[in-house]
């Protein structure tokens, strides 16, 4: 195909799964973020392949009648769907999820409902900021521009995040300016918020192992860390903690339970809306009332025995319900623990060491005596024996979806019920194509955890085919 010009116009035909708009220029598909169907826009090539291109939005030439003015300058990096009312966003999400299931599998059910978020703005409890310098060579908080790791856009406020997050981030930025900390040693700033504590925790990631630590005393902070992160890694991940003041964890309430998690652990980013989803899972979970689990309660942690350490288990009494629940990809153990009172026994499987530690602490924090914790990758930790006799299997995997071996073992186990919560309906659809050979959907629902963005959570509840 011919080389694309430096700037060109394109008419957006439709939105595709993932939130980009699709148009065509001289027969080549062009994908653009921050546009709506029917709009004519001016764009510049950003990433070009032989078959298609992704382009940066420069100007709206002919706007859609449902377009709104964005509330932020960096909206393309954080929340590109704030350009249209939430009701329109929700319909787009329903249509795109149904389209992706039709493409990769079959619809679990003919129709799918969508439960709105409890808040349209200020819902995120976690933000990770980059750093840049402005025209006056002043240090600023920034996000990467869409389709680029080299271009940055300065951040004044992140309106989809809880307001305290922006407040804390800018106070830390001011401290960095006053200390003349150079951009070259900075990597990222992570700020997380707890509704339960009404506090934040902040971690400053630096690329200099000899960085001189300092404390920052803010009333909004329950913990402050300075972390050395290997500069060879593109992501902000702890190599060594250089400084820790107060706590490295937050505590959040979900349902009637408290959950502690570390600054780097996975945790739900919209807890109030997740509560709605958890309540739906509680309503639909079907323990077998006549098959009590016979065994002893215990906390296990292979293969991270040295990290987690031995644990004294409380006397095993079991939940008020019957049967066995197995929670795979469990993270801090949230779903399994919220359903634990409905089952005689719950087995939680989580491979991440930080998640395993958090799950262990949360079992003790909530004084749960019918949970067994297994630390290990779900696809490697003897799944047939773990799934044996399970009445309900719960999976909440990362965006990559279920490992194929996990799908195979779930199918082989033929548990009575499967609950599959997904943050990526595309990989859920891929998995459902196989799972639907043995399972029949009884409930399908979307949860809008992420207003102003294309992302949506998908919940499928299914029972084994007779």
Round to whole Å and give the CA distance between 267 and 253: 12
> Can you give the C-alpha Rg of the chain in angstroms?
24
Higher-scoring residue by pLDDT: 311, 139: 139
Q: Over 50: is that where the pLDDT of 398 sits?
A: yes
Same fold, 1-67 and 126-252: yes
Q: What pLDDT was estimated at residue 303? A: 32
Round to whole Å and give the CA distance between 262 and 353: 11
Confidence of residue 380 (pLDDT cuts 50, 70, 90): low
Confidence of residue 381 (pLDDT cuts 50, 70, 90): low
Q: Is 203 helix (H, G, I), strand (E, B) or coil?
A: strand
Q: What pLDDT was estimated at residue 379? A: 63
Of 173, 141, 143, 160, nearest in space to 71 by CA: 160
Does 86 sit behind a cis peptide bond, omega within 30 degrees of 0 on the bond before it?
Answer: no
Q: Over 50: is that where the pLDDT of 318 sits?
A: no
Confidence of residue 453 (pLDDT cuts 50, 70, 90): very high
Confidence of residue 378 (pLDDT cuts 50, 70, 90): low
Going from the C-alpha of 33 to that of each of 21, 80, 441, the distances in angstroms are 6, 7, 33
Q: What pLDDT was estimated at residue 444? A: 98
Q: What pLDDT was estimated at residue 464? A: 96
pLDDT in tens, 283-312: 999 987 655 444 444 443 333 232 333 233
pLDDT in tens, 45-74: 999 988 999 999 999 999 999 999 999 999
Contact 94, 114 (CB under 8 A): yes
Q: What pLDDT was estimated at residue 2? A: 79
Q: What pLDDT was estimated at residue 306? A: 27
Task: Read off the pLDDT of each residue in 328-344 and give the average, rounded to a whole number.
Answer: 94
Catalytic residues: 423
CATH topology for the 101-118+266-464 domain = Rossmann fold (3.40.50)
Round to whole Å and give the CA distance between 54 and 214: 42
Confidence of residue 343 (pLDDT cuts 50, 70, 90): very high
Which residue ranges make up each domain of the chain?
Answer: 1-67, 101-118+266-464, 126-252
Q: Under CATH, which architecture does the 126-252 domain have?
A: Beta Barrel (2.40)
Q: What pLDDT was estimated at residue 353? A: 81
Contact 359, 347 (CB under 8 A): no
Residue 331 burial (10 A CB sphere; 0-12, 13-18, 19+): buried
Round to whole Å and give the CA distance between 154 and 70: 15
Give start and end residues of each alpha helix (H) in 70-216: 75-78, 86-104, 163-178
Q: What pLDDT was estimated at residue 165? A: 98
Task: Read off the pLDDT of each residue in 103-121 and give the average, rounded to a whole number.
Answer: 96
Contact 126, 192 (CB under 8 A): yes
Higher-scoring residue by pLDDT: 392, 295: 392
pLDDT in tens, 154-183: 998 999 999 999 999 999 999 999 999 999
Please state the residue numbers annotated as binding site: 268, 329, 350, 396
Going from the C-alpha of 81 to that of each of 56, 70, 181, 287, the distances in angstroms are 15, 9, 35, 40
Q: What is the DSSP letter of 340?
A: G
CATH topology for the 1-67 domain = OB fold (Dihydrolipoamide Acetyltransferase, E2P) (2.40.50)
Task: Read off the pLDDT of each residue in 107-129 and give the average, rounded to a whole number.
Answer: 97
pLDDT in tens, 231-278: 999 899 999 999 999 999 999 999 999 999 999 988 999 999 999 999
Please state the residue numbers annotated as binding site for S-adenosyl-L-methionine: 268, 329, 350, 396
Contact 374, 346 (CB under 8 A): no
Q: What pLDDT was estimated at residue 377? A: 67
The chain-wide mean pLDDT, for the chain, equals 91
- For the full predicted model, state whether its pTM sits above 0.85: yes
Round to whole Å and give the CA distance between 185 and 395: 39
């Amino acid at each position: 195909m011919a080389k694309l010009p430096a700037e060109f116009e394109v008419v957006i035909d439709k939105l595709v799964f993932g939130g980009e708009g699709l148009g065509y220029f001289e027969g080549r598909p062009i994908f653009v973020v921050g546009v709506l169907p029917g709009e004519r826009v001016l764009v510049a090539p950003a990433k070009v392949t032989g078959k298609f291109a992704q382009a940066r939005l420069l100007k709206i030439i002919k706007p859609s009648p449902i377009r709104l003015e964005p509330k932020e300058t960096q909206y393309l990096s954080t929340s590109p769907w704030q350009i249209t009312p939430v009701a329109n966003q929700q319909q787009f999400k329903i249509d795109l999820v149904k389209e992706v299931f039709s493409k990769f599998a079959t619809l679990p059910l003919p129709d799918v409902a969508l439960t709105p978020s409890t808040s349209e703005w200020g819902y995120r409890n976690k933000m990770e900021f980059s750093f840049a310098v402005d025209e006056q060579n002043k240090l600023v908080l920034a996000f990467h521009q869409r389709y680029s790791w080299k271009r940055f856009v300065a951040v004044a406020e992140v309106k989809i995040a809880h307001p305290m997050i922006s407040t804390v981030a800018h106070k830390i930025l001011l401290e960095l300016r006053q200390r003349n900390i150079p951009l070259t040693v900075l990597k990222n700033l992570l700020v997380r918020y707890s509704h339960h504590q009404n506090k934040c925790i902040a971690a400053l990631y630096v690329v200099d192992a000899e960085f001189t630590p300092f404390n920052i005393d803010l009333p909004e902070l329950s913990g402050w860390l300075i972390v050395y992160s290997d500069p060879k890694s593109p992501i902000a991940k702890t190599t060594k903690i250089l400084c820790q003041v107060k706590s490295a964890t937050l505590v959040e309430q979900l349902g009637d339970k408290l959950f502690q998690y570390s600054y780097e652990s996975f945790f739900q980013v919209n807890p109030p809306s997740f509560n709605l989803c958890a309540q739906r899972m509680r309503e639909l979970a079907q323990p077998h009332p006549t098959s009590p689990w016979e065994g002893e309660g215990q906390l296990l942690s292979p293969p991270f025995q040295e990290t987690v350490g031995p644990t004294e288990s409380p006397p095993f009494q079991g939940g008020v319900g019957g049967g066995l629940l197995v929670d795979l990809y469990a993270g801090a153990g949230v779903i399994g623990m919220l359903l634990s009172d409905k089952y005689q026994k719950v087995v939680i499987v989580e491979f991440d060491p930080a998640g395993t530690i958090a799950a262990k602490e949360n079992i003790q924090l909530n004084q749960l005596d019918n949970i067994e914790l297994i630390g290990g990758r779900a696809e490697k930790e003897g799944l047939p024996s773990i799934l044996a006799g399970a009445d309900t299997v719960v999976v909440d995997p990362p965006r990559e979806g279920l490992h194929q071996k996990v799908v195979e073992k779930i199918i082989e186990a033929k548990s009575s019920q499967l609950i599959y919560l997904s943050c990526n309906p595309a990989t859920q659809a891929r998995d459902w194509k196989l799972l639907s050979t043995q399972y029949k959907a009884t409930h399908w629902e979307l949860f809008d955890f992420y207003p102003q963005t294309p992302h949506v959570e998908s919940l499928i509840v299914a029972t084994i085919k007779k």
